[in-house]
Structure 1
Amino acid sequence: MKKTIGYKQKARQFFAVLLPIFITQLSLMATGFFNTVMAGHISQQDLAGVAVGVNLFLPFFGAFLGIISGLTPTISQLYGAGKREKIGFIVKQGFYWALTLAVLFIGAGWLLVPYILPLLALEPRVEYITQHYLMAVSAGIVPIFLAAVLRNFIDAHGRTRLTMLITMTTVPVNIALNYVFMYGHFGLPAFGGIGAGVGSAIAFTLNLLLNVLAVTHCEPFQSYHVFRSLPRPDFAEWRKQLGVGIPIGSTMFCEQSIFGAVGLFMTAYGTVIVAAHQAAMNFTTIVYMIPLAVSMTLTILVGYEVGAKRYADAQQYIRLSRVLTMLFVGTLALILTQFKSEIASLYTSSAEVQPILAGFLVYAVFMQVSDSINAPLQGALRGYKDVHVTFLLAVLSFWVIGLPLGWGLANYTSWGPYGYWLGLIGGILAGAVLLIVRLRQVQARFKA
C-alpha cells in the first residue's frame, strides 16, 4: 500500500486490495455452496443435517476467527505508521492466544453439542448427521486458527492477492475431498453429509501449510522471521489485542448467531422448510461476499491511513466504498430476482423444496441490499479500531430489534417462516442507521 492523492488513485488502490479479497471470500463460499448442493442431491435428511450443523458451528467459528481478525487493524495501523519492529512481536503473540482459542473452541463443542442436539427434536437420522459432521470438522480447528493469524498478517500489508492465491488453491481441494467423502470414491465409503466435515478438516490443514510457506518465502513477510525466536507469552499484549479482537468477534457472533438461531427456529416447520431455508441462506451468503469484501478492504485501508494520520484520506475511501457497494449489489439484486426458480433448481431436485426456496430467495435479495449499507460501515469503524460501540449496536439491531420482530411476525401473523426474514431485514436496516451516526461521531473526534 502507498499514499494516494484524489479519488482516481484511491479507486485504483481500493480495487487492488478489494478484488483479491472478494475472490478469496467467494472461493470460501463456493465450498459451502457445493456442500449444500451435494447434500441436497443425496437426501433431504443430509441437507437438513448439514444445515443444522452449519447453523450451530458457523456463529461460534466466525466469532473466534473475528477475534483473530482484530490483528488486521492493529497491524495495518502499525504498518502505516512505519513501526515494523512491533509487528513481528504481535504476530508471534497471536500464535499463542489463537492456539488457546482453538483449544477452548474444540473443548466447548465436544462438551455442549451432545446436550444441545436433543433439545432440537430432530429426526434421528438428521441428528446423527449433524453430530458427526461437527465431530469431523473439529479436527481442522487448530490449523485454521493458526492460519488465520498469518492471513491477517498478510492482509494487513495490503498483499491480499497472496491470500487469494492460497484460498484458490485450497478451495478446489476442499470441494473435491468433500465430493469423495460424501459420495464415496476410490474405495472409500459414502459418508453423506458427514463427509463434508472430513473434507473441510483436511483442507483447513492444507491452508495452514500454504500460509506458512508464504510468510517464510515471500517478502516483506520473510524479513519478520515470525517463526524464529518465539518469545514467552506476554499476557499484557494478549489483553491489548483481545481488547480489540473480542468486540469484533462478538459483533460477528451477533450477526452470524442470529442467522443460526433463525435456522434452528425453522426446525419447527419441518425438514422441507429447513432444507429450503438453508439453501436460501447459502445463496444470500454468496451475494454477501461483495459488501463483506468491501468491509474487509476498508478495515485495511482506513487503518493504514489512520496510522499515518491522514484522516481526510480515510474518509474518502469510506465515501468511495459506499457508492460502489450500493451500485454493485443493487445491480446484482435486480438480475438475480429474475432467475430465482433457476437458482432454486440448482440447490435441490425436490419438488417440495423448490417452490419454498424460490420464495425465500426474494427475501434473501432484499437482505443483501440492506447489508450493502451496513457492512462497509462496520469495516470503516474497525479501521479506526472503534469496536466496542459497534458490538453494542450489533446486539441492539440484531437481538433486540431483528430477532424479536421476526419471531413476532412468524408466530402472530400469516407470514409464517417468511416473517423471520422480514425481521432480519428490519434489524439490518436499523443497524445501518445507527452505524452511520456512530461513524460521524468517530470521524469528528479524529478531526478534532
Structure 2
Amino acid sequence: MRNSRFWQLNKPLLLLALPLLGAHLAQTGMGVVDTLMAGRLSAVDLAAVAVGTSVFAPIMLLIFGTLLATTPLVAQAAGAQQLQSLAEKVHQATWVSLVMILLGWVVMTNSYLVFNFMGVTPEVANLASGYLKALTWGLPALAFFQVLRCLCEGLNHARPVLFISLFGLVVNIPANYVLIYGKLGFPQLGAVGCGYATALSFWVMALLLSGYVHFNQRYRTFNIFSSWQAPRFKVIGHIFWIGLPIGLAIFVEASLFTTIALFIGGLGEVVVAGHQVAFNFTTLIFMVPLSLGMALTVKVGHALGSNQAALAREVAWQGVLLCSLIALLSALFMWFSAPWVVKLYSENHQVQLLAASLIQLAVLYQVSDALQVNAAGALRGYKDTRVVMVITLVAYWVLGLGGGWWLALGDNPWGPQGVKGFWYGLIIGLSFAAVLLLWRLKSTSQAAINH
C-alpha cells in the first residue's frame, strides 16, 4: 500500500520533472558545448571560458532564482483557480527582471576588476572579459525567457520550454563553430565567440517562447500580451520578498563552486581546466535533482493553493525519498564513468587525471546535494524562502568555501591540499545544508497543517 502511494504521488512529479530536466540539460548543454569547443581550440580559451563562466553562472542563477518566485505564485493561483491574476504576475515579474538585468550588466562589463583581484593571468583575464561582454547582449532575452518559463512550469506545462531549449542548443552549436573557429567569413573569435553564440541562442529561445504564449489557445485567455501593466510596487515588492532569498540562496550555492575557480586561477591552466571539466560534468548530473526540486515547488504549490496542506506535506516527503534513490544511482554512474567522460573534454592527460579525481570526490556528496535541493524546492512551494537563504549562506560560504579554503590553501594539519581541498569543503557544506533544510521542511509542512 505504501509503495503504491509512493508511485501514485511520484508519477506526476516525474512527468513534470522530465521535461524540466530536458530543458535544464539543453540550457546547461550550452555551457558544455562552449567548454568542449573552446577546449579544442586551445587551453587558454578553455580557461577563459571556465573563468568567465565562474562569473556569469552565479549572475545568471541570481536572476533565475529571483524570478523563480513567479513559479509558486502561478502554481498557487492555478490551484486556487485564480487564473485572471496570471497576467499581472508575468508583467510585474518582468519589471523585476529589468533590475536584475542592470545588476548583471554592471558586474559583467567590469569583470576585469574581479579577475585582477583574484590574480587570474592577464591572457586568460582579457579573453574571459571579452566572453562576458559578448554575453551581456543576451541578458534581456535570458531574463524574459525565465519569466515566461516560470509561467508555463507553474501551470504544469513544461514541454514547450523543453522543445524551445533544445532548439536553442541546436542554434548554439553551429553558431559556436562559426564564431570560435572563424568560418563563413567571420573572424576567429575563440572564447569571445562562445559569448556571442550563446547570446544569440538566448534571443532565439525568448522569441520562440513569447510567440508560443501569445498564439497558443491555452494562454490567450490570460491576456499576457494584450496590454502591459505599469509597475505596481506592492506586487514587485512581494515578488522580491519571495524571490530574492531564492536567488541569493542559489547564488550562494553557485558561487561556492565558481568562486573556487577564481581562487585557483593563479594555480595554472591545468588546474583551472581540470576543475572546470569536473564542474561541468557534475553540473549536468545535478540537473536531475534540481528538476525534481522545481517540480516539487509546483506540486506543493498546487496542493496548498487548493487548501490541501496534508497532501502538500506527503508530496514533499515522497519526492525527497524518490530523489535520494535517484542520487544513489547517479553516484554509481559518476564513479565508474569519470575516467572516460573527461576524455571528451580535453586531450591533455594532466587535465583528464585531475578532472577524474575531482568527479570521484563529488560522488561523496551526491545524496546530500540531492536532499538539500529537493528540500529547498518543496519549501519554495510553501513560499518559505528566507530561512533557506540563511541556511545556505552558512552551509556553503562558512563551512563549504571557508572550510575548503582552509583545507586547500591554509595552514591545516594535513598540509595544503590544492584544488581537492575545496572539493572536501563542498562535501562538508552540502551535507550540513541537507540536514538543516530537511529539518526546516519538517517544521514548515507541519505548521501548514496546524494552521
For Structure 1 versus Structure 2, the TM-score category normalised by the shorter chain is: over 0.9
CA shift, 1:279, in A, is: 0.6
Counterparts of 1:364 and 1:175, CA distance in 2: 28
Counterpart check, 1:38 vs 2:37: yes
**Equivalence for 1:86:** 85
**Equivalence for 1:421:** 423
**Equivalence for 1:145:** 143
Counterparts of 1:432 and 1:294, CA distance in 2: 15
Over 6 Å off, 4+ runs:
none
Which residue of the other structure, out of 360, 363, 366, is the alignment partner of 2:364?
366
**Equivalence for 1:241:** 239
Counterparts of 2:196 and 2:185, CA distance in 1: 16
Counterpart check, 1:323 vs 2:325: no
Structure 1 residues 36-83: Cα deviation after superposition (integer angstroms, max 9, x where no partner):
111222111111111110001111221111111110011101110111
**Equivalence for 2:439:** 437
CA shift, 1:7, in A, is: 4.1
Q: Unmatched 5+ residue regions in structure 1?
A: none
Letter in 2 for 1:442: T
**Equivalence for 1:232:** 230
**Equivalence for 2:65:** 66
Counterparts of 2:350 and 2:10, CA distance in 1: 46
CA shift, 1:366, in A, is: 2.3
**Equivalence for 2:156:** 158
Matches within 5 A, 1:202-217: 202-217=200-215
CA shift, 1:444, in A, is: 1.7
Structure 1 residues 269-325: Cα deviation after superposition (integer angstroms, max 9, x where no partner):
211101100110001000001110011000011011111111122122222222222
Counterparts of 2:370 and 2:62, CA distance in 1: 21
Structure 1 residues 10-33: Cα deviation after superposition (integer angstroms, max 9, x where no partner):
233112211100111111122111
TM-score by length of 1: 0.96
Letter in 2 for 1:96: W
Counterparts of 2:29 and 2:59, CA distance in 1: 20
Structure 1 residues 310-356: Cα deviation after superposition (integer angstroms, max 9, x where no partner):
11221222222222222222112213312322111111001221111
Between 206-215 and 182-191, report the one with greater CA deviation. Answer: 182-191
Structure 1 residues 389-439: Cα deviation after superposition (integer angstroms, max 9, x where no partner):
000001111112111111111123343221110101110000000011111
Counterparts of 2:265 and 2:333, CA distance in 1: 31
CA shift, 1:179, in A, is: 2.0
Counterparts of 1:238 and 1:39, CA distance in 2: 40
Letter in 1 for 2:379: L
Alpha-carbon contact 1:410-1:420 (below 8 Å) kept: yes
**Equivalence for 1:22:** 21
- Counting aligned pairs with the same residue, the percent is 31
Letter in 2 for 1:385: K
Match of 2:383, SS state, is: coil
Counterparts of 1:385 and 1:180, CA distance in 2: 44
Letter in 2 for 1:426: I
Counterparts of 2:62 and 2:124, CA distance in 1: 25
Counterparts of 1:122 and 1:248, CA distance in 2: 30
**Equivalence for 2:134:** 136
CA shift, 1:233, in A, is: 1.2
Which residue of the other structure, out of 333, 343, 346, is the alignment partner of 1:345?
343
Counterpart check, 1:256 vs 2:254: yes
